[in-house]
Chains A and B, each alone.
Chain A
Amino acid sequence: MSALTFTLKKIPQQRVDMSPLVCQLLKDKTVAEIAAITLHSGKAKLRVDTLFDITGSDTENIVIANSMNKLDYIGKGLQAGNLTVEGNAGHYVAMQMQAEANITVTGNVEMFAACEMQAGLLTIQGDAGDFLGGALIGNKKGMRGGTVLIKGNVGARAGDHMRRGIILVEGNAGDYCGSRMTAGTIAIMGTTGKYIGYAMRRGTILLWKKPKLMATFNDCGSHTLAFLALLFNSFANLDSKFSDSDNSFNSIQRYAGDLAEIGRGEILVKL
């Protein structure tokens, strides 16, 4: 049984809400029933088969081919299975994803990827926009579980309001990385922008390169931390630079903050 594949026929005029096309909602449906599902696009409702060519039938493995950045909410609330996006994706990829599901995007994604994500693995081969792993505007609980791996760069406010889980970025991060974090771990191999850890309460930001820190982060000295060995071991199965033992370390410089908040967060910089 081959993967259920949706191949985009042409660039849609308006953005498309892709949230109905997840494994658990398509289970036990025939191709004809899937083709008749309607997707919101602007103020219009479009049948799936007007936007996509449909092939395959395995609803546990979904492929969105020829994808582009007008397709929003891909994998929203995904509860199980694998979803692959060939190309770019729009906003809200993997929003509120649950359980041990997998989403892979071969291109770039727009804002709010992994927004309020609860579990699973999101892999983005390209870059991610602002508010990666954040909360919906007005909400106070961002990503609360799972792992997000970004092979490119991320925009501003990655991990905003993050509560749990791990964000791994092989490239660079924009401004306000880890802003308002409540807990969880963000690891950035590249450079970071201004105001890193802004208003973070708890949680860990792990850096390979020394950032420009705000005055509200205090130097707590250099240390060797045992938990880092466990953390790096947990990356062993990822297809990523993070699984390379040459990139692991346990000697760090520890900065505690944000002291304008409760100051229980930390920025750990590789020594």
Chain B
Amino acid sequence: MIINGVSIDDTFAEAFPMKATRIIITAHNPKWAMISAQAMTGFATSVIACGCEAGIERILTPNETPDGRDGVSVLIFAMGGKGLAKQLETRAGQCVLTSPTSALFAGIEGEKQIPLGKNLRYFGDGFQTSKLIAGKRYWRIPVMDGEFLTEATTAQVGAIGGGNFLVLAESQAQALTACEAAIEVMRTITGVIMPFPGGVVRSGSKVGSKYKALMASTNDAFCPTLKGITNTQLSPEIESVMEIVIDGLTKTAIDEAMRVGIQAVCDLGADTGIQRISAGNYGGKLGPHHFHLREIMQ
């Protein structure tokens, strides 16, 4: 398959099951809602060492938030429910509770509930107050700028992590430009995040390593400087590869994010140095969810 001169590999991205939640952070104005969300989603690029993968899903208008203020919705993904709950609580406590004027709400419905402000309330040292409003429990925790309002729990849902595609270009600058174009449109899709810095990862990994202590190591088949000494997947003209990783609440959301992202890259055309689109395919070792590039782009 070739789109606008860009070759789409006959391959697939492998992804794996995760647990996820959505939360809504509101604040006095959009600036402070974003600051709080950025703090909460910091150091959350990969479950390999961060404990979770998190990102800003989208900016919310006052009409879309529970308290009628400006807000941001955040998605957090982890490999299991316990890990998710731990990361959520830690990050909410250290990054949202501490952020001026913030309030914190559940952003997703589901049967399985995990603590959001349920345990943060103890920061109130006995002065915290509970309110049960329209069937939902909230905690009002007195803080120095007024009150921190948080919903007691949020829902944990099944999700998918590790959807991805690779952009293979003739230069580093061209690969970066293409990825930036892809990320811009992918951020319009609801239910997905691209957790790496700016949505792009330059150090894609393979499963395993020659070093026993490491569970992942550099994806040497796509490293341009190793073309001559490894089982390379790169043709001679390709000098840079960048990857976009997608975590999503549903397979449909990831499909759509990959489709619009790949299309945005292809729209730039082969004339801009974009040669191929490929995907992280690890022979079935990584996960049960397969995203076939050519099926997605049909």
Residues of B within 8 A of A230 (CB): 66-67, 131, 133-134, 138, 149
Stretch in A80-88, A101-109, A221-229 with 4+ CB within 8 Å of B: A221-229
Residues of A within 8 A of B66 (CB): 230, 233
The answer to the question of A179 belonging to the interface, with a C-beta cut-off of 8 Å to chain B, is no
The answer to the question of B130 belonging to the interface, with a C-beta cut-off of 8 Å to chain A, is yes
Q: Give CA–CA (A227, B26) in the complex, Å.
A: 12
Known: A185-B131, A223-B146, A225-B149. 10 other contacts (CB 8 A): A183-B130, A227-B147, A227-B149, A230-B131, A231-B131, A233-B134, A234-B133, A264-B126, A264-B127, A266-B129
The answer to the question of A164 belonging to the interface, with a C-beta cut-off of 8 Å to chain B, is yes
The answer to the question of A70 belonging to the interface, with a C-beta cut-off of 8 Å to chain B, is no
The answer to the question of A141 belonging to the interface, with a C-beta cut-off of 8 Å to chain B, is no
The answer to the question of B179 belonging to the interface, with a C-beta cut-off of 8 Å to chain A, is no
- Chain A nearest CB, measured from B255 CB (Å): 35
Do B132 and A227 touch across chains, with their CB atoms under 8 A apart? no
Q: Which of B66, B68, B134, B146 has the largest number of chain A CB atoms within 10 A?
A: B134
The answer to the question of B34 belonging to the interface, with a C-beta cut-off of 8 Å to chain A, is no
Do A264 and B129 touch across chains, with their CB atoms under 8 A apart? yes
Do A234 and B134 touch across chains, with their CB atoms under 8 A apart? yes
In the complex, number of A-B residue pairs with CB atoms less than 8 Å apart: 46
Q: Give CA–CA (A250, B131) in the complex, Å.
A: 15
The answer to the question of B140 belonging to the interface, with a C-beta cut-off of 8 Å to chain A, is yes
Kindly supply a per-residue 1/0 record for chain B positions 155-183, scoring 1 wherever the CB is within 8 Å of any chain A CB and 0 otherwise: 00000000000000000000000000000
Q: Give CA–CA (A223, B131) in the complex, Å.
A: 17
Interface residues on A, range: 10 to 19
Query: Which of B103-149 touch A at CB < 8 Å?
Result: 103, 126-127, 129-134, 138, 140, 146-147, 149
Do B131 and A204 touch across chains, with their CB atoms under 8 A apart? yes
**Given A227-B138, A230-B67, A202 contacting B147 (CB threshold 8 A):** no
- Name 24 A/B residue pairs within 8 A (Cβ), A-sorted: A164-B132, A202-B129, A204-B131, A223-B146, A224-B146, A225-B146, A225-B147, A226-B67, A227-B67, A227-B133, A227-B138, A227-B147, A229-B67, A230-B67, A230-B133, A230-B134, A230-B138, A233-B66, A233-B68, A233-B134, A234-B133, A234-B134, A264-B126, A264-B127
For A145, the closest partner residue in chain B by CB is B132
Residues of A within 8 A of B146 (CB): 223-225
- Chain B nearest CB, measured from A96 CB (Å): 19
Kindly supply a per-residue 1/0 record for chain A positions 179-206, scoring 1 wherever the CB is within 8 Å of any chain B CB and 0 otherwise: 0000101000000000000000010100
Give 4 nearest A-B pairs by CB, closest first: A234-B134, A226-B149, A229-B67, A234-B133
Q: Give CA–CA (A12, B67) in the complex, Å.
A: 51
Q: Give CA–CA (A225, B145) in the complex, Å.
A: 11
For B127, the closest partner residue in chain A by CB is A264
Do B134 and A227 touch across chains, with their CB atoms under 8 A apart? no
For A254, the closest partner residue in chain B by CB is B147
Do B68 and A229 touch across chains, with their CB atoms under 8 A apart? yes
Kindly supply a per-residue 1/0 record for chain A positions 52-92, scoring 1 wherever the CB is within 8 Å of any chain B CB and 0 otherwise: 00000000000000000000000000000000000000000
Q: Give CA–CA (A231, B68) in the complex, Å.
A: 12
Residues of A within 8 A of B26 (CB): 226
Q: Give CA–CA (A234, B68) in the complex, Å.
A: 13
Residues of A within 8 A of B147 (CB): 223, 225-227
Residues of A within 8 A of B127 (CB): 264
Residues of B within 8 A of A234 (CB): 133-134
Q: Give CA–CA (A183, B138) in the complex, Å.
A: 13
Q: Give CA–CA (A185, B130) in the complex, Å.
A: 11
Residues of B within 8 A of A266 (CB): 129
- Chain A nearest CB, measured from B139 CB (Å): 9
Residues of A within 8 A of B140 (CB): 225, 227
Q: Give CA–CA (A233, B129) in the complex, Å.
A: 19
Q: Give CA–CA (A202, B128) in the complex, Å.
A: 10
